[in-house]
Each structure stands twice: as structure tokens, then as C-alpha cells.
Structure 1
């Protein structure tokens, strides 16, 4: 770091450090051999289980150890355990992997093991829900959503956590209201417009709400108004523009297209170097030509698109070929 004086390591200290590292490697390799030997002999004992705990705390990407751990539980430990003991074991594993995720938030195998734990929670009462067969499951799944919330607070764009969140929401014994999840995505987007995963989650929730009739599709106009705030805040953020295209769809009526084209043109006048403004204008003008050709001035719109594509080739030369292909399609 700047301003911090580097302390030169003595030869003795460097040698001691090297010895420690070599010792750790030797211990890890011995532990690895022990785990694989026990797995090969179908050892389903508690001792073997504890060995998987040790090695996975060192190397959480050792998927063979995760698979072995699950087999130990299924074949060696669960058969002699009560439902409460099984629930306690799974809760402990969830706690263990929570600690692992703090250090390794994007290791797939940790998330995968959490799925397995949740799916194997037995029937039984949970806190305050005595007599409810879903009690333990509800308690664990509710806690899981809280854990994911914390993970996304730490890194709001962790796509592993967003994918896992959709999994949790789909499997919860007592469904979380979709409107609550919509509010959650609003909060995440307002804190960071570049959060593509939050925009993507929003498309899933809105599609479900509109499809089930729980939310009037006409309210998509309100969605467009809030989206425009994001567009004006950062016109070069692709997440916003991709969501805008999803919201508009491929068959928007002429009035809607005319309105959005005028809004984007106004923004481009303020931000003349906005690539996404230019690309979106070309996209929506193409939709006008495709879906409303009988009620528009096709020649004028085509010329507008060619001019915009020319500007894009200058502004974004890396995608020059792509813009040339779009222009060829215009002339077909």
C-alpha cells in the first residue's frame, strides 16, 4: 500500500514461513488420503464424518468430500437417529456452511450442500408451531431466506446468491408474498441501478404477478416511470436498458413505441455519446418498421436508423460488424 513502509523479511523468517507452509500442505495431503481411504472402504462412521468437516473447512471446493459427507449421513448416521436429531444435524451443517460462505461466497458446492440439507429436513414441530408437521421445515426455510438476505447485503450482485434465493422462494413451505419480493428488488435496485440480478429477479416476479392476475398489467406504465429515473441517472448502464426492452416486449403498440422513442431521444440530446440510447432507438424504430409499417414513414425511420448505426460504428468500433449486420437487415 502507498505510504506503508515495507519490512524486508529476514532469511530466517522466510525459511520458517516456508516450513510452516510445507507442514500445512503435508497435513492437508494426509487428511485428503484419510478421507478418500475411508470413502473407498464405505466407512459411514462419525469419525469419517468429522474428517469431512475438517477437510471441507480447508477446501470447500472438494466436491467428493461433500458427496461423501451426505452418504455418511444417509447411510451411517440418519438410520439410527430420531427426527429431532436429524434436524439438529442438518441445522449444524447449515451453520457450518454459513461460516464457509462468508469466506467463499461463490463456491457452488457450498450452496449445493445447503439445498440438500433443506430438502432432507424431517417432519416435525418448529419453534412456536407445535403439532405442525411443517414446523421444522418452515423454521429452516425462513432462516435460509434471512441468510440469503445477509449474503446479498454483503454483495448485492452475487449471482450464486440470487439464483439460490429463487430456489428458496420456490420451495418455502409457506410462500412469501410475491409483492414482498417485488419490494425487495425495488430496494436493491434503488441502492444500485447496475444490479442486473435484481432487475432479472424483478422480471420473474412481475411476470408471475401479471400472469396470475394479482397485478394489473396496466401498472407496467408505472414501472416504466420508475425505470426512466434509472435511465436518466446512468444512461450508460446496460442493466437498465436490457430491463427496458423486456418491459416493452416485442409487440408494443405504436403509441407506446412513439412515447418511449421520444423519451430516449430527449435523453440522447442531453447525452449525445450514450451508446445504449442509440442502440435502443434503433431497436424500437425497427419494431415500428416491423409491426406498424402501414402507419409510419418507413423511409424517414430507415434513414434515422442508418444515421444512428453510423454514429455507433464510430463510438463503438469493436462492434462495427454487428452494426453493419443490423443495417443490412434494414435494407432487406
Structure 2
């Protein structure tokens, strides 16, 4: 890498490193053979400890994660009290927390963590069967928020967060989650996962009648417009904008947003996403609102799409074939105009 000083090894040092690496590999292969040999019917604590050692070396070894769970289900849990199971799960969650700090995007670690939470026993009392579970899920939400503080765009953590929210015995208010996505988006507009989460939360709020869709959408358009002007080349913002507009059946909103994007295009004339979005939305006008325009206006709209697609061929040559195909589709539209 540029600017990084290379370390030069002597022949002796290189040979020593190779021998050390060979020894590590031999140890890993021996450990792997030992674990896999036990996998069929050994549900002992000793086998469980071996899986810990192996997963510390290779956390992507999903077969060993499966074996670890079988040991717990078939060997350890049946001999344990609910309090002991609670302690075992707490220890295993701590184990995966340490693993995630080093490997935050390994699916199998997240998967095992989710499994552990599903095994939490009832308690601590008959009157409060969700007591332990709620405490675990509350802590889990805190853990995943710390993971997203470290990497706000880790989609594994966002997916896991959705699972946590869905499974908490006492649900987190949707508005609190909406506020959370606002903070993440305002910290960094280029956060596709946060925008995606926001769309899920808003849809749920609208469906439950907890938020007025007309007013809240207007607020969303303002938020996304700020994001567009801050970074017009960020894909996530434009995808979210298309989600807001939907198929484009609302003529007033569609034409208003086209005007706003055209204003931005005057400032950023070579913006790929401005151009692509204008073509997308103007074609929506041609599909859904043709009756509102006469033949001259329709032909003008088609010509504008053709011109923008030609510009896209120049500013984004890697997708030239795609834009050429779109031009053919737009040209066929022109043939249908009386």
C-alpha cells in the first residue's frame, strides 16, 4: 500500500515465520479432525470446550457452530437447571460478543447469537415468565447499537437489529426506532441500511395508523432532498426517493419532485443519479398521466428522455448498453403518440 513502510525479513526470519505458520496449520488441522470425529455422538463438556477453541481460530466454520448447539441441546441443557442454563447462555453470548469485535460480518456468529436468545428459559418467577428474556433482549439491543456505532453500515448488524426488535417480549415503540434511523441518517446520508430500516418502520407506522402518511411523507421528501443536495452521487438516497414516490400515480407529487431534481441537475449537470431518476420519473408520467398532456407535450417528454439517456451513455459508459436498450424502449413509446 502507498505510504506504508514495508517490513523486510532476513532469510532466517522468513524461514522461522514459515515454520511457525506450518505449526499453526498443523495444530488447526489436528483440532479440526478431533472435533469432527466427536460430532456424531459426543455431547460432553470436553467436546464443547474443543468447539470453543476451534471457533476462536475459524469463526466461519458453520458445521462446528451446529455441533456446538447440539452439544448444548443434547448434553448440557438436559442436566442443567434453568438458572444454570441462563448462566451458560450468558457465557456463550459473551463468547460471541468477543468474536464479533474481530469478525463483525461473519453470518454464523450472528446466527448463533440469535439461537442463544431463543433458548432463554422462563423466569425468574412464575409471575414474570418474560423477565429473563426481556432482560436479554434489552441488552441485545444495546449490543447491536454499539456494533452500529462502530460501523453504521454493517448490514449484518441491521438485519440482526430487525430480528431483535421483532422478538422482544415487550416491543420497542416504532417511533423510537424511527428516531434512531433519523440519527443514523443525519450522521451519514450514505447509509443504505438506515434508509431501508426507515422505510420498514414508516410502513408499519402507516399501517397501524400511528402516523399520518400524507404529512409524514412530506417530511420525508424534505429529508431526502437535503440528502440529495449534500451528496447527489449517493445511490441509497435516490433508491429511498423512488420508494417514497412508488409507481408515480400522484401527478402533483411526481411533477413537483421532477422539478426539484431538474433544479439539482442544473447545479450537477453530469450527475448520473439525477439523470437516471429524471428518465425514470418522466417515463412514469408517460405511463400514468398521458391523458393530462397533448401530443406536443408528450413528444417533448420523450425527446427529453432520449437526450438524457444519450448523456448517460457518455457520463456512465460502463452501463452504455443498458441506456441504449432504454432508448429503444422510449423510442417505441414515441411511435404510440398520435
Task: Specify if TM > 0.5.
Answer: yes
* Aligned: 1:55 with 2:35: no
Q: 2:158 aligns with which of 158, 162, 184?
A: 162
What is the DSSP-based 3-state SS (H/G/I as helix, E as strand, rest coil) of the residue aligned with 2:39?
A: helix
Residue 336 (structure 2) aligns with: none
1:268 aligned to 265, 270, 291, which one?
265
Partner of 1:277: 274
Pairs within 5 Å for 1:303-318: 303-318=303-318
Question: In structure 2, which of residues 228, 231, 239 is the aligned counterpart of residue 231 of structure 1?
Answer: 228
2:203 aligned with 1:200: no
In structure 2, distance between residues paired with 1:202 and 1:307 = 34
Paired residues for 1:1-332 under 5 Å = 6=6, 8-40=8-40, 42-125=41-124, 131-218=127-214, 219-296=216-293, 297-330=297-330, 331-332=332-333
Inter-CA distance 304–5: structure 2 relative to 1 (3 Å threshold): closer
The separation in 1 between residues aligned to 2:69 and 2:78, in whole angstroms, is 13
Please give the alpha-carbon distance, in whole angstroms, between the structure 2 residues aligned to 1:4 and 1:273: 35
Q: What's the offset of the Cα at 1:49?
A: 0.7
In the TM superposition, residue 138 of structure 1 has moved relative to its aligned partner by 0.6
- Given that residues 248 and 281 in structure 2 are in contact (C-alpha distance below 8 angstroms), is that contact kept between their aligned partners in structure 1? no
Deviation at residue 285 of structure 1 after TM alignment: 1.0
Residue 251 of structure 1, CA deviation:
3.4
TM-score of the superposed pair, with normalisation by structure 1: 0.95
> Gaps spanning 5+ residues in structure 1: where?
none
**Unaligned regions of 5+ residues in structure 2, if any?**
334-338
How many residue pairs match? The answer is 328
Distance 1:278 1:181 in 2: 33
SS at match of 1:47: helix
Q: Give the TM-score of the pair, scaled to structure 2.
A: 0.93
Deviation digits for residues 219-253 of structure 1 (CA, Å, limit 9, x no counterpart): 20111011100000111111111100000110331
**CA-based RMSD:** 1.6
Contact in 1 for aligned 2:93/2:116 (Cα 8 Å): yes
